[in-house]
């Protein structure tokens, strides 16, 4: 008697859904692909690729697009796969210290609509959630009625527990152990997946996928958002740590004789290159530290004080280069404007302290996504379940969100 095989259908279904998500992720990253390209990248035969593409089209995620060769190449054109304008989207929320940005983001990293509002110092989480909810309603108002909302991604300048998104500490927002995801859903009156992560981690994610770190598997995104943090990609994977708290580089000891830091330690790197430290150095009120990037953008030449801070920045970056051996270090937040002014000082200080071997392979870069790295990283984070299992993700999506939220 032959033994009956069990679970074959289930296994085949799991493989199919995995392939479906992988193919969608390739198109998402590229914005457009031919079936021939997808066949080569995924190592599947043409009929299998055709079946997967057909299913994504039937789900309303992709659509037939003009073949690549038809747009100016030679040879027989391969059928193109593009992203549907009325396909799935996510809401991305970037919480800063004094400002929140909210966007409706589609596949391909396309920002369809965006809105912003200030954050009043000392605001409670529920107050911020109410303002975020108002912005969400604004950005989804004109969303296609058939387009499904598959999730909400939120970035926070603080420590976020990986397992459940609990904000353990957001010092500049004065939040401790806040379950912001559930507060947002209550404010919106809907039930969709919510992902919350540290702002620097999300900046690294976006720059790795579609910014200055494309095709680079070892990079660090250094965020200046009043405080200082880092998102680290190593071997193509996000380095999160046991609880999700990796990357708090602003609280590495830098100057033992330095100022007392808000974390309780003395002489953290943040006390030397944080926004408050730079504000003091250039003589602007510390309550303007949250808008430091705009202030620095108005400078045409560096002052001696800024050059010294550039040296502190370079020395601190040398420690990261020695420890992680990245290929690219992306300087985000207010470091974008600072680096343009003191590039020479930063690079000289980096060369002074970094070991010769890792120094040879590292490049300092500005974000390829400009000021949107973190916002788009929040969108990427919210889209990840769609790439794991598009069918299951669409099963929990909210359709007609503009009408439902308006009501």
Answer whether residue 77 shows pLDDT above 60: no
Q: Which residues lie closer than 8 Å to 296 by C-beta, 6 or more apart?
A: 278, 306, 334, 337, 338, 341
Q: What is the pLDDT of residue 404?
A: 76
pLDDT of 84-118, one tens digit each? 989 999 999 999 988 999 999 999 999 999 999 99
Q: What is the mean pLDDT of residues 24-49?
A: 93
pLDDT tens-place string over residues 142-196: 999 999 999 999 999 999 999 999 999 998 899 999 999 999 999 999 999 999 9
pLDDT at 3 over 50: no
User: Whose CA is closest to 209, among 28, 37, 351?
Assistant: 28
Nearest one of 377, 396, 371 to 386, comparing CA atoms = 396
Torsion of the alpha carbons at 183, 185, 189 and 192, rounded to the nearest 10: -170
Contact (CB, 8 A) for 185 and 215: no
Q: Residue 205: which of 15, 19, 33, 377 has the closest Cα?
A: 377
Cβ–Cβ under 8 Å, residues 94 and 374 = yes
Q: What is the mean pLDDT of the segment spanning 127-146?
A: 95
Helical axes 275-282 vs 304-324, angle rounded to 10°:
160
What is the mean predicted confidence (pLDDT) over 52-68? 86
Predicted local confidence at residue 209, as pLDDT = 95
Look at 65-69, 263-267, 319-323, 326-330 and tell me which has the smallest mean pLDDT: 65-69
- Lateral strand order in the sheet of 237-238: 237-238, 227-234, 219-225, 328-333, 363-365
Handedness of CA 239, 244, 247, 252 (dihedral sign): negative
Q: What is the band of 133 on the pLDDT scale with cuts at 50, 70, 90?
A: very high
Work out the pLDDT band at 72, boundaries 50, 70, 90. very low
In 3D space, the residue among 106, 69, 81, 111 whose CA is nearest the CA of residue 20 turns out to be 81
The residue ranking higher by pLDDT, 375 or 290, is: 375
Residue 295 pLDDT grade (very low, low, confident, very high; cuts 50, 70, 90): very high
Residues 155 and 128: their CA atoms lie apart, in Å, by 13
Whether the pLDDT of residue 67 is over 70: the answer is no
**Which of 140, 153, 142 lies closest to 192, judged by CA?**
153
Nearest by Cα to 15 from 57, 52, 58: 52
pLDDT: is 405 or 7 the higher one?
Answer: 405
CB atoms closer than 10 angstroms to residue 276: 20
**Residue 283, Cβ density class (10 Å: 0-12 exposed, 13-18 middle, ≥19 buried):** exposed
| pTM (two decimals) | 0.92
DSSP 3-state assignment of 71? helix
206 CB contacts (<8 Å, ≥6 apart)?
109, 369, 372, 373, 374, 376, 377, 379, 380
Specify burial of residue 214 (Cβ count, 10 A radius: 0-12, 13-18, 19+).
exposed
- Gap between the Cα atoms of 220 and 213, Å rounded: 9
The two tokens of residue 223 are 């965020």
């Amino acid at each position: 008697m032959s033994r009956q095989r069990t679970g074959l259908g289930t296994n085949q279904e799991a493989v199919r859904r995995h392939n479906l998500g992988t193919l969608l992720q390739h198109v998402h990253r590229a914005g457009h692909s031919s079936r021939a390209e997808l066949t080569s990248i995924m190592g599947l035969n043409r009929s299998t690729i055709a079946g997967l593409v057909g299913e994504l089209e039937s789900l309303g995620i992709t659509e037939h697009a003009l073949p690549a060769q038809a747009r100016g190449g030679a040879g027989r054109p391969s059928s193109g796969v593009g992203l549907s304008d009325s396909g799935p989207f996510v809401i991305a929320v970037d919480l800063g210290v004094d400002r929140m940005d909210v966007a409706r983001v589609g596949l391909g990293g396309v920002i369809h609509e965006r809105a912003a509002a200030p954050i009043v110092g000392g605001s409670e989480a529920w107050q911020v959630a109410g303002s975020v909810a108002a912005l969400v309603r604004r950005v989804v108002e004109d969303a296609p009625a058939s387009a499904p909302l598959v999730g909400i991604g939120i970035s926070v300048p603080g420590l976020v527990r990986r397992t459940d998104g609990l904000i353990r500490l957001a010092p500049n927002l004065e939040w401790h152990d806040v379950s912001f995801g559930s507060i947002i859903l209550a404010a919106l009156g809907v039930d969709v997946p919510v992902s919350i992560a540290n702002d620097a981690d999300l900046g690294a994610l976006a720059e790795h996928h579609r910014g200055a770190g494309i095709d680079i598997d070892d990079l660090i995104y250094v965020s200046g958002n009043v405080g200082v943090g880092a998102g680290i990609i190593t071997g193509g994977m996000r380095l999160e740590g046991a609880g999700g708290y990796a990357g708090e580089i602003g609280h590495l000891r830098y100057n033992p004789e330095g100022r007392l830091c808000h974390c309780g330690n003395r002489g953290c790197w943040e006390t030397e290159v944080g926004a408050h430290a730079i504000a003091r150095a250039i003589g602007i009120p510390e309550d303007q530290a949250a808008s430091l990037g705009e202030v620095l953008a108005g400078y045409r030449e560096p002052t001696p004080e800024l050059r010294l801070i550039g040296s502190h920045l370079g020395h601190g970056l040398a420690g990261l280069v020695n420890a992680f051996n990245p290929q690219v270090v992306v300087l985000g937040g207010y470091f974008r404007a600072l680096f343009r002014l003191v590039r020479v000082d930063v690079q000289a200080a980096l060369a002074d302290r970094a070991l010769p071997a890792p120094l040879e392979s590292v490049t300092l870069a500005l974000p390829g996504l400009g000021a949107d790295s973190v916002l788009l990283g929040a969108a990427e984070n919210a889209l990840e379940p769609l790439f794991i299992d598009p069918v299951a993700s669409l099963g929990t999506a909210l359709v007609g969100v503009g009408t439902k939220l308006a009501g």
